[in-house]
Amino acid sequence: MAASLRVNIVFAADFRSVDQARGTLLVLCRGAFPLQQEAVSDFCMAANEAMNNAVEHSGCSLLEVELHADDQSMTFRMSSDGERFDPTGSAAMPEPDELGELPEGGYGLALIQEFVDGMAYQYRDGKNVVTLVKNINKGV
């Protein structure tokens, strides 16, 4: 990747819009890092989980997403106007039930933390601001 990439997307907080935003992020990141498809998939999965969590749990009405990519990393920053929630605390995958089955849901924060190299949270100007970073190994 020779130059950096920066994209801003503002959209209504609904699952259809999240799907469209995820698709856009995936196309842009795959184009920027054609030799890093696993890292791109992990990063976009984490971004998708963050957006879905905001829509499903925070009561937000609007999401603003910023993607920045350069030779070193991909950064996803999401601002939402929903209820204050810091997702950076410790998260673990749910335990299987007595039949060995995993429960439906409850994986989001653990997946996000597993798939990115850095995660930060701020509450600024009445908005939740979540930042996810995925480092890129240029040698691969």
Q: Is the pLDDT of residue 140 over 50?
A: no
Secondary structure E strands in 1-140: 5-12, 62-69, 73-80, 118-124, 127-135
68-92 confidence digits (pLDDT tens): 999 899 999 999 998 898 777 655 5
What is the DSSP pairing of strand 62-69 with strand 73-80? antiparallel
Q: Let me know: does 128 contact 82? Beta carbons within 8 Å.
A: yes
Q: Where does residue 73 rank: exposed (0-12), middle (13-18), buried (19+ CB within 10 A)? A: middle
* Of 34 and 43, more confident: 43
- Give the separation between CA 136 and CA 92, rounded to whole angstroms: 25
Query: Tokens for 86?
Result: 């810091």
43-70 confidence digits (pLDDT tens): 999 999 999 999 998 999 999 999 999 9
Q: How many other CB atoms are found less than 10 A from the CB of residue 102? A: 12
Spell out the domains of the chain, with CATH numbers in brackets: 5-83+107-135 (3.30.565.10)
- Give the separation between CA 79 and CA 41, rounded to whole angstroms: 22
Identify the bridge partners of residue 120 per DSSP, sorted by sequence position: 131
* pTM confidence score: 0.85
Rounded alpha-carbon distances, angstroms, from residue 86 to 57, 93, 132: 12, 18, 13
Query: Using only C-alpha atoms, what is the Rg of the chain?
Result: 15
